[in-house]
């Protein structure tokens, strides 16, 4: 699944490898660019049903604001809950990971008092 709008808009790519899902977010994770990703939440969540590991790659995020942070936190939480509630998976191998979190995300997590929660996802 690939979404392209404008050079600065948020884009994403989902790569599925058996029961491992890599979600690459690219561009600005900001209020002005969230709607397409928000609208695609359910198809994304449907892909998580049998996932054992979900990797959120934020390497190419160029900007994040509080609205983008809130949506990302919701997506992380939903992916974590889905994996934890799937009893068919081996508990030891279940994980949700966030790669290459931008400094703006870490600053926002500090400001909102969510640093301990966010840290559990950091690779």
Contact 120, 95 (CB under 8 A): no
Least confident segment among 12-21, 32-41, 79-88: 79-88
Domains of the chain: 2-119 (3.30.750.24)
pLDDT tens track for 60-118 = 999 999 999 999 999 999 999 888 887 676 666 779 999 999 999 999 999 999 999 99
Over the chain, what HEC string results?
CEECCCCCCCEEEEEEECCEEEEEEEEEECHHHCHHHHHCHHHHHHHHCCCCEEEEEEEEEEEECHHHHHHHHHHHHHHHHHHHHCCCCCHHHCEEEEECCCHHHHHHHHHCCCHHHHHCCEC
Whether pLDDT at 12 is above 50: yes
Cβ burial, residue 7 (10 Å; 0-12/13-18/19+) = exposed
Q: What is the pTM of this model?
A: 0.87
């Amino acid at each position: 699944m690939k979404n392209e709008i404008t050079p600065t808009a948020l884009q994403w790519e989902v790569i599925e490898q058996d029961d491992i899902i890599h979600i690459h977010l690219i561009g600005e994770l900001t209020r002005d660019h969230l709607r397409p990703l928000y609208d695609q939440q359910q198809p994304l969540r449907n892909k998580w049903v049998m996932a054992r590991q979900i990797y959120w790659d934020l390497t190419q995020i160029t900007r994040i604001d509080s609205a983008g942070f809130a949506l990302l936190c919701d997506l992380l939480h939903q992916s974590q809950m889905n994996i934890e509630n799937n009893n068919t998976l081996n508990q030891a191998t279940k994980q949700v990971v966030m790669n290459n979190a931008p400094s703006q995300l870490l600053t926002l997590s500090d400001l909102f008092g969510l640093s301990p929660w966010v840290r559990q996802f950091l690779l």
